[in-house]
Structure 1
Amino acid sequence: MRTLFTIGYEGKTVDEFLGELQQAGVELLIDVRAVAASRRPGFSKTALSNALAERGIGYLHLRPLGTPAAGRQAARAGRTAEMRAIYADQLETPEAELALVRALAEAGERRAALLCFEREAAGCHRAMLAERMLDRERFEVVDL
């Protein structure tokens, strides 16, 4: 059975983060942030993509699989149920469906990890996304 990893970078340095990915044998990082920018040095799209490439890990940003602004605000305020409802609606959009098909194809070809900010997957939309992917393909989900 294939493994689908999820990872958040909250509280991690870039080196710690990259080390976790390498130790797990991740070959592709699928960035599922709506906005691939970060106040944390090294975690914005270009810097992260370059750092991953130096370690032989691919990078793919699938913006439609990110949480819309209202969902991010709900999550920051601790309103997880509201965030989950907003994200569930996002997953029903045609753009998200296309991105989900791409994520499934990529995860079927390479050891992939879904990336977002939150340390704990349970409070993050990436857990919902992994569940949706499990509805279509068999994976073992491992939260790094």
Structure 2
Amino acid sequence: MMNLYTIGFTKKNAERFFTFLKESDVKTLIDVRLNNVSQLAGFAKRDDLKFFLKELCGADYVHSPELAPTKEILSAYKKGEMPWSVYEDKFLNLMSQRNIEKLITPKLLEDGCLLCSEHEPHLCHRSLVIQYLNEHSNLELKVKHLY
């Protein structure tokens, strides 16, 4: 059984965000966002995250855009042009085409944490990544959502 966490940075200040990660003993924050340098991200921008994670949590930062939807899929969903069920199907198919189960190593996931912007995981692609890996890899993931 492998521990894996997920977190969204919205609706959290920096103190709460980094406290969650530190208390969970996260070893690697795995950024599954398409855009990891948005000005809207505040403390969760790529370069700031790398610094804060190392200094505050002793953790590493990895950007894994192969675990993010395409701009087209994400945009259609965000604009309301695509319901969650279609988004889910398209994203699961995309991960299958990318063979993410072969790209993502157990070492990366062990005590790792998937990062996205969404506060709650149930309508976020980070939950779909976990669902896909549970179904298509030999990994047995014990998942805890931090929010």
TM-score (norm 1): 0.86
User: What are the Cα deviations for residues 15-53 of structure 1, in whole angstroms up to 9, with x where unaligned?
Assistant: 211111111111110111122123131111111111111
Partner letter of residue 52 of structure 1? L
Quote the residue 1:4 is aligned against. 4
Q: Measured at CA, do residues 95 and 139 of structure 1 come closer, stay the same or move farther in structure 2, by a change above 3 Å?
A: closer
Kindly indicate whether the alpha-carbon contact (under 8 Å) linking 1:71 and 1:82 is maintained by their aligned counterparts in 2.
no
Offset, 1:142? 0.8
Offset, 1:89? 2.6
In structure 2, how many angstroms separate the alpha carbons of the residues matched to 1:33 and 1:40? 11
Q: Measured at CA, do residues 96 and 35 of structure 1 come closer, stay the same or move farther in structure 2, by a change above 3 Å?
A: farther
In the alignment, structure 1 residue 127 sits paired with structure 2 residue 127: yes
Q: Secondary structure at the match of 1:10?
A: coil
Gap regions ≥5 residues in structure 2: none
Offset, 1:86? 2.3
In structure 2, how many angstroms separate the alpha carbons of the residues matched to 1:40 and 1:32? 14
TM-score (norm 2): 0.85
Offset, 1:96? 4.0
What is the count of residue pairs matched by the alignment? 140
Partner letter of residue 89 of structure 1? N
Q: Secondary structure at the match of 1:60?
A: strand
In structure 2, how many angstroms separate the alpha carbons of the residues matched to 1:45 and 1:86? 27
**What is the root-mean-square deviation in Å for CA atoms of aligned residues?**
1.8
In structure 2, how many angstroms separate the alpha carbons of the residues matched to 1:64 and 1:122? 20
